[in-house]
Chains A and B, each alone.
Chain A
Amino acid sequence: MAITSIKNLKEFSTANDRFEGSHLLCPGCAHSMIVRELMNATDDNLVIASNTGCLEVSTAVYPYTSWDTSWIHIGFENAATAAACAESMFKARKRKGTLPNPDAPVKFVAFGGDGSTYDIGFQWLSGAMERGHDFTYICLDNENYANTGGQRSSATPVGAHTSTAQAGTHSYGKTQRKKDIVSIMAAHGAPYVAQLAPNKWKSMAKGFQKALETEGPCFINTVSACTTEWKFDPKDTINVTDLATDSLMFPIYEIINGHELNILYRPKNVIPVEDYLGAQGRYKHLFKPEYRHVIDMIQKEVDEKWELLQRREEARV
């Protein structure tokens, strides 16, 4: 039973349980919510590839597996290619009549963290998008290399403290902007690209379904709040995610065919980014007088980005 026939979150959360609860992810990690939601969003068979990262090391430790579906991990950078070429194999075997379940519907999905998506696996992802495989790539964006203890990635936002972009007497943490992966993926001409968040579970499930149902390469960036490296209490994962979406640090939107932008969530009351930053230990240094200007800078950029998104939505180009 997939989400189309489900009315509430409680039913949805156990709709189609193909991701076992017994995994090694941190308590409060948003990865499992997002993964479960993806797998519940369809009744079709799934072939899933995962890059090396938190999700992979926590769900397939021999002799156990959390995946009640076909699943593959090769390396840090190549899940997109693995899913893409599994899809090629599906096409070849369908043509030749060698599929064991020839009529069974199947979807190909790749998961990567932001490190493997924005950084080390960027080329593999770009190649698979350009080649037009029928698959969906989902980035679990927790804005750092959490699996290796919290180093900066090109998804880490300005001002965040990480172990390789540290806050100190001479530094306010990461000084470079977060890479705009959604625009880059949209620029590939992908038929469906979106940025989604697990606190907005209905729009997330809908977005997942759209991506899975759309023929061709689809990309979704999901905010995955990281209790360990963002430094908040594990019980506050969704609260922090609410702050991320309501401060517009993490706007929720989709881009269809590379140009048609739709904002999927408009906060009734937009909160200042300060509230979002203040809820996490990784930003606590920004509240020192010498670094408060960084908060202003972040707010300005968030405002500008929101303005841009709204204008693009209006322009329909």
Chain B
Amino acid sequence: MAKEFELNEVEVWDGNYAASQALRQAQIDVVAAYPITPSTPIVEGYGAYVANGYVDGEFVMVESEHGAMSGCVGAAAAGGRVATATSSQGFALMVEVLYQASGMRLPIVLTVVNRALASPLNVRGDHSDMYLGRDSGWIQLDAYNPQEAYDLTLCAFRIGEHLDVRLPVMVHQDGFTTSHKAQNVTPLKDDVAYKFVGDYVPVNDMLDFSRPVTHGAQTEEDWHFEHKAKQHKALMDSRTVIDEVLAEFKELTGREYKRVETYYMEDAEVALVVLGSSVETAVIAAEELRAEGIKAGIVSPRCFRPFPYDLVRDALDVPSLKAVCCMDKSAPGGAMGALFNEISAAAYTTESRPLITNYIYGLGGRDFSIEEAKRIFKEQKAHADAGHITTPIQQFSGVRGPKLGFFETRRG
């Protein structure tokens, strides 16, 4: 029987340690993992729990991230709770198996500490890895700080393992900005946390010999489409369960999470759409600008997948809203930013149809400051006042060299 870990009412944890504590409290049966900066401390922390009797499950340190996710799939099919952690290149190496895990409907929890993808090699935080996972069929939740990394990791087990969902879940936090910066975190006691997560309920259990199961079958044009359609529906339908679990978590802790977070949007004239730790920076910037008379607001799709199209539309359907900037912290590779594309699609169906622009920012861990957020808010105000977009639609913020921008507006 695993020992109880004595916790203070308030702990000072960084995002990595917060995530590792949540993994410990979920009493996972198998963690199959491989270290990579900046998520290494999650598995190191977990290793310390194993070494000191705080974990009853197996801890399998495999030979690569592909092996880690492969091990998670094999273990999950054998009917128990499974999780791992990764970042960046490790995430990229896992991609093949990410698709297999979701297609096989195995509820694995993956704590992702977001980091840039090479080349050039870079260990700092941006959202390249998170974006790489966006079509993988996983639920993706986004934490802005260590407390949220802890809370959402606990919620992830409940959501993914729910019998109506049965899908893997990623919980993202920003590399270094969140993962390595200690803040006050209010944890749950071990028994309370475990009670919230609940016992694992096996489905199509390979160790139930009374009922042999075949996992990972082959389908071609005759059945593949139906399987993928069902998988997509499961992902879309998981929205209800996500809402229920987050509501239950609020009931338990008082901490409220929504699939789309909004700040000061009720009367906003300009808004930023951001993810991750930048949300908190943008909120401070909005508060300062409001003191100056600029009605700034923030929208953040905390639940990045399934993409909350309807809630984003609702969040942007504010009569006062004139201009929105979508902030993509990932190199777009010859396209508009992914957030820009998805938010624009949702905004297209609103009454207000705000002007929408795109900033690529913060690549490879380039700092995103309150001043930068304010400058971008002010640029939106200029668009709003002019009644049209006054800059190229896509721009780069905070990059050296000549100003980089693409595409002019055709809207008057």
Chain A residues at the B interface, C-beta cutoff of 8 Å = 45, 47, 49, 56-57, 60-63, 65, 67-75, 77-78, 81-86, 88-93, 95-96, 98-101, 104, 106, 123-124, 126-127, 130-131
Interface presence of B212 (CB below 8 A): yes
- What are the nearest 8 A-B pairs in CB distance? A82-B74, A127-B63, A78-B70, A85-B71, A89-B78, A73-B216, A70-B206, A65-B214
Distance A78 CA – B215 CA, assembled complex (angstroms): 14
List A contacts of B76 (CB < 8 A): 89
A248: shortest Cβ distance to chain B, in Å?
Answer: 34
> Which of B64, B73, B82 interacts with A82 by CB under 8 Å?
B73
**20 extra A-B contacts, CB within 8 A, seeds A100-B202, A131-B61:** A49-B74, A61-B219, A62-B227, A67-B212, A70-B213, A73-B218, A74-B70, A77-B66, A81-B71, A83-B74, A84-B60, A86-B75, A89-B29, A89-B74, A89-B78, A93-B79, A93-B207, A101-B207, A106-B209, A131-B60
Which residues in chain B, 24-77, are within 8 Å of chain A measured between CB atoms? 29-30, 32, 56-58, 60-64, 66-67, 70-77
Contact across chains for B75 and A85 when beta carbons are under 8 A apart: yes
Contact across chains for B58 and A72 when beta carbons are under 8 A apart: no
Interface presence of B208 (CB below 8 A): yes
Contact sample, A vs B, 29 pairs, CB 8 Å cutoff: A47-B78, A47-B206, A56-B218, A60-B217, A62-B217, A62-B219, A74-B216, A77-B66, A81-B67, A82-B73, A85-B75, A85-B78, A88-B32, A88-B71, A88-B75, A89-B78, A89-B80, A89-B82, A93-B29, A100-B208, A100-B209, A101-B207, A101-B208, A101-B210, A124-B63, A124-B67, A127-B62, A130-B63, A131-B62
> Which of B29, B67, B206, B212 counts the most chain A CB atoms within 10 A?
B206
B133: shortest Cβ distance to chain A, in Å?
Answer: 17
B197: shortest Cβ distance to chain A, in Å?
Answer: 15
Closest to B199 in A: A98
Closest to A76 in B: B96
- Interface size bracket, B side: 35 or more
List A contacts of B67 (CB < 8 A): 78, 81, 123-124, 127
Interface presence of B379 (CB below 8 A): no
Interface presence of B205 (CB below 8 A): yes
Interface presence of B274 (CB below 8 A): no
Distance A130 CA – B61 CA, assembled complex (angstroms): 11
> Which of B60, B62, B78, B209 interacts with A45 by CB under 8 Å?
B209
Closest to B222 in A: A62
Contact across chains for A78 and B60 when beta carbons are under 8 A apart: no
A137: shortest Cβ distance to chain B, in Å?
Answer: 13
Closest to B73 in A: A74
Contact across chains for B209 and A101 when beta carbons are under 8 A apart: yes
Distance A88 CA – B68 CA, assembled complex (angstroms): 13
List A contacts of B219 (CB < 8 A): 61-62
Contact across chains for A91 and B208 when beta carbons are under 8 A apart: no
Interface presence of B407 (CB below 8 A): no
Contact across chains for B32 and A85 when beta carbons are under 8 A apart: yes
List B contacts of A70 (CB < 8 A): 206-207, 209, 212-213
Contact across chains for B70 and A82 when beta carbons are under 8 A apart: yes
Contact across chains for B78 and A78 when beta carbons are under 8 A apart: no
> Which of B32, B208, B209, B212 interacts with A71 by CB under 8 Å?
B212
List A contacts of B215 (CB < 8 A): 71-73
A78: shortest Cβ distance to chain B, in Å?
Answer: 4
> Which of A56, A70, A73 counts the most chain B CB atoms within 10 A?
A70
Given A67-B212, A71-B212, A89-B29: A61 and B217 interface contact (C-beta under 8 Å): yes
A32: shortest Cβ distance to chain B, in Å?
Answer: 17
List A contacts of B30 (CB < 8 A): 85, 88-89, 92
> Which of B70, B71, B207, B227 interacts with A90 by CB under 8 Å?
B207
A48: shortest Cβ distance to chain B, in Å?
Answer: 9
Contact across chains for A57 and B58 when beta carbons are under 8 A apart: no
List A contacts of B205 (CB < 8 A): 100
> Which of B64, B80, B97, B214 interacts with A92 by CB under 8 Å?
B80
Closest to B227 in A: A62
Contact with A along B210-233 (1 / 0, CB 8 A): 101111111100010001000000
Contact across chains for A100 and B207 when beta carbons are under 8 A apart: yes
Given A60-B218, A75-B70: A85 and B207 interface contact (C-beta under 8 Å): no
Contact across chains for B97 and A78 when beta carbons are under 8 A apart: yes
> Which of A69, A74, A96 interacts with B74 by CB under 8 Å?
A74
List B contacts of A84 (CB < 8 A): 60, 71, 74
Distance A174 CA – B129 CA, assembled complex (angstroms): 40
Interface presence of B277 (CB below 8 A): no
Contact across chains for A81 and B217 when beta carbons are under 8 A apart: no
Interface presence of B100 (CB below 8 A): yes
> Which of B100, B207, B223 interacts with A74 by CB under 8 Å?
B100
